A = this chain, B = another copy of it.
Amino acid sequence: MNNRQIRLAARPVGVPKPSDWKFIDEPVGEPADGEVLVKVLYLSLDPAMRGWMNEGKSYIRPVAIDEVMRAGGVGVVVASKSDRFKVGDHVVGTLNVQTHALVPEKALTRIDPRLAPLPVYLSVLGMPGMTAYFGLLDVGQPKEGNTVVVSGAAGAVGAVVGQIAKIKGCRVVGIAGGADKCRYVVEELGFDAAIDYKTDDVKKALRATCEKGIDVYFDNVGGDILDAALAHLAFKARVVICGAISQYNNTTPIVGPANYLSLLVNRARMEGMIVFDYADRYAEAAREMAGWMQAGKLKSREDVVDGLDTFPDRLLMLFKGENQGKLVLRVASA
């Protein structure tokens, strides 16, 4: 039996192109003591992947040239030399872009497919949900009655940020690209308003929808939208820097937020967050969010696309804003 893998062939300049990848088939290995062999079912496609492909120091080491591309995923154990996992167990962890993964037991978490569909474990109950939960609640610290604005509002993280902010009694304005996404966050997710950055003047629209200014701005995109939000902060506002998808494929230097002095004028705070720092509290967050899902207060939407070999193209959907909800690649059927 072969393990099909997608490896990083070259460091991309700008948008990743086909020649930045290579496809390799090699025999599936045997688990060593304490390891399990996982058949990969679903992989998480995330904007952060673009950063992992770059050389240089960041919050996590870069994927090396010739290494299998890093990815979180859900799978099923097909062979085990671990006391903690048996064949048939479903697990989540860093499985990487391949059909089979040999993984040390300590790098996996067991999940229950009866509690939620498997892709949800890569969405609300996975990294995007954790990012939204801790980024909003721990870093953004919304208070009841606050105005919360989130960019990438229809995306995997943004949709959860807005829904949690509603649960906490905030007014929520989402920024997204296109009428469909805007309709979705208002009509399906219950946001109070949405701004379509493709057709609206974001600065004017923020003034119109946030009369008392923005108390919490959760940024997934960077660039002009971050600048527009900074221009309209309320006193003592909190800006959560979670990502900057507009900048990830830049071949020119990143443009910094020209309106950063609004932090001074408004005594506001801008703070970065990385979800991995909250690993010891994931279980707590998952419990609370699962409760909200059961109560119908928190919806998860996954955009499931098919086939390992389509990975290079599917990844680009994120940067074109083509996905509707959390983008998940189905590698095999359970």
Contact = CB atoms under 8 A, between A and B. Distances in A.
A247 B255 CA distance: 16
Interface string A240-252: 0111100100000
A27 to B, nearest CB: 38
A93 to B, nearest CB: 23
Given A241-B263, A268-B272, A258 B255 contact: yes
A270 B263 contact: yes
Interface in A42-77: 57-59
Interface string A213-235: 00000000010000100000000
A264 B257 contact: no
Contact of A269 (B258, B264, B270): B270
A101 B222 CA distance: 48
A271 interface: yes
B272 A264 contact: yes
Chain copies in complex: 2
Name which of A57, A227, A241, A273 has the most chain B CB atoms within 10 A of its CB. A241
A260 interface: yes
Nearest to A242: B264
Contacts of A109: none
A26 interface: no
A244 B267 CA distance: 14
Contact of A256 (B58, B241, B258): B258
Given A227-B256, A260-B241, A272 B266 contact: yes
A267 B139 CA distance: 10
Contacts of A227: 256
- A-B pairs, 5 with minimum CB distance: A256-B256, A264-B272, A263-B272, A256-B258, A256-B257
Given A59-B265, A256-B256, A262-B272, 5 more contacts: A222-B261, A255-B258, A256-B259, A257-B260, A263-B270
